[in-house]
């Protein structure tokens, strides 16, 4: 290839770069109009909308540019525009230096989003509840935990956060050489998308097993998994279970009680704790 041909190709790349830059600036102007229309409402996280945007872009993508890189770029772009709409800050659970949750948060919400580290899960939840942070990053619940953080979301207190998203959004990504995951919490949102999983807390006034709860849903047609449990020794009559399902279990206590009664289980309370868009698989990003 001659130097003239090479110079011509580089000029074409410069032209494309300028066009991309122009569109980014134009998009920022539209975001300003959105912010003005919202008025004092401020930032409202819409993880369902973000998942739909990424799913649409992946579906229309072609050529040799990696889909994983496309997802990474658009996450940075969307976070930058979200920050233009108001105060966007993250509270990240970091029980020790170098915890992977910090990297997961940075990868998802970009290089321009302020982050603070918290040694306790209560610190993260409190930061979101007080408005100090719009986003909280916490570990994936484990069934073996004796004092799980999700129990603090089983509350009717003002500004109690909900689970909004799961990290990373692409299952092909590794953090510090291993595949780590986390959940995002924020103020409650009704923003949903297809291919979503939901968390619900079930409260009982007697000791029961996770197997009993799973059996109660066996004929429902739902993919239900018990992800954790907690017993309040001070109350002696509150048993909480975290249930993950592929549909919203609902806030209709009567219907849920009927379901449990059929299986000789007494349900005392139920509360939706949030949900997340299912991360993109390696096959989707291939």
Of 277 and 259, more confident? 277
Asked if pLDDT for residue 273 goes beyond 90, the answer is: yes
Instruction: Please state, rounded to an integer, the average pLDDT across all residues of the chain.
Output: 87
Instruction: Return d(Cα 160, Cα 150) in angstroms, integer.
Output: 11
Alpha-carbon distance values, 213 to 70, 112, 220, 235 (Å): 41, 44, 12, 21
Q: Which residue ranges make up each domain of the chain?
A: 1-41, 196-271
pLDDT at 255: 67
Of 176 and 267, more confident? 267
pLDDT at 73: 92
User: Sorting pLDDT into bands at 50, 70 and 90, what band is 286?
Assistant: confident
The model's pTM is 0.88
pLDDT at 107: 87
Alpha-carbon distance values, 176 to 36, 99, 105 (Å): 40, 9, 13
Asked if pLDDT for residue 187 goes beyond 70, the answer is: yes
Three-state SS for 162? strand
Three-state SS for 9? helix
Per mean pLDDT, which range of 172-176, 179-183, 277-281 is the poorest? 172-176
Per mean pLDDT, which range of 7-16, 60-69, 205-214 is the poorest? 205-214
Residue for token digits 């993260």?
124
Asked if pLDDT for residue 251 goes beyond 80, the answer is: no
pLDDT at 176: 57
Of 172 and 209, more confident? 209
Provide mean pLDDT across the span 36-61: 85
pLDDT at 93: 96
CATH architecture entry for 196-271: 2-Layer Sandwich (3.30)
Provide mean pLDDT across the span 232-243: 84
pLDDT at 41: 64
The tokens for 29 are 């102007």
| DSSP code per residue over 36-89 | HHHGGG-----HHHHHHHHHHHHHH--SSS-HHHHHHHHHHHHHHHHHHTS---
Provide mean pLDDT across the span 193-216: 87
- Residues of the chain with pLDDT > 90: what percent? 51
> What's the N-to-C CA distance of the chain in angstroms?
32
- Residues of the chain with pLDDT > 70: what percent? 91
Three-state SS for 154? coil
Asked if pLDDT for residue 213 goes beyond 90, the answer is: no
CA angle 46, 47, 52 (to 5 degrees): 100
Asked if pLDDT for residue 256 goes beyond 90, the answer is: no
Q: Which residues of 125-158 are buried (b: 16+ CB within 10 A; e: fewer)?
A: bbbbbeeebbbbbbbebeeebeebbbbbbbeeee
Instruction: Return d(Cα 248, Cα 244) in angstroms, integer.
Output: 9
pLDDT in tens, 125-151: 999 999 999 999 999 999 889 899 999
Q: Which residues of 95-117 are buried (b: 16+ CB within 10 A; e: fewer)?
A: eeeebbbbbbbbbbbbeebebeb
Neighbouring residues of 254: CB distance < 8 A, sequence distance ≥ 6: none
């Amino acid at each position: 290839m001659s130097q003239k041909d090479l110079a011509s190709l580089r000029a074409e790349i410069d032209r494309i770069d300028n066009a991309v830059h122009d569109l980014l600036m134009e998009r920022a102007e539209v975001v300003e109009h959105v912010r003005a229309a919202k008025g004092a409402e401020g930032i409202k996280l819409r993880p369902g909308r973000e998942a739909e945007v990424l799913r649409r872009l992946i579906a229309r993508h072609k050529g040799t540019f990696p889909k994983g890189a496309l997802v990474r770029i658009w996450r940075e772009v969307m976070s930058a525009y979200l920050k233009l709409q108001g105060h966007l800050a993250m509270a990240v659970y970091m029980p020790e230096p170098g915890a992977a949750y910090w990297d997961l948060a940075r990868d998802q919400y970009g290089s321009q989003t302020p982050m603070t580290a918290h040694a306790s899960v209560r610190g993260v939840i409190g930061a979101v509840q007080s408005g100090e942070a719009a986003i909280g990053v916490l570990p994936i619940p484990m069934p073996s935990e004796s004092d799980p953080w999700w129990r603090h979301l089983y509350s009717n207190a003002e500004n109690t956060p909900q689970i909004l998203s799961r990290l990373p959004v692409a299952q092909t990504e590794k953090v510090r050489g291993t595949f780590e995951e986390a959940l995002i919490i924020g103020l409650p949102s009704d923003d949903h998308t297809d291919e979503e999983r939901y968390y619900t807390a079930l409260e009982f006034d007697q000791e029961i097993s996770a197997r009993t709860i799973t059996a109660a849903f066996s004929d429902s047609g739902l993919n239900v998994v018990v992800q954790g449990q907690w017993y309040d020794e001070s109350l002696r009559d509150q048993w909480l279970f975290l249930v993950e399902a592929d549909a919203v279990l609902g806030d209709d206590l009567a219907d849920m009680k009927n379901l449990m009664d059929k299986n000789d289980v007494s349900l005392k309370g139920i509360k939706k704790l949030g949900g997340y868009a299912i991360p993109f698989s390696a096959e989707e990003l291939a």
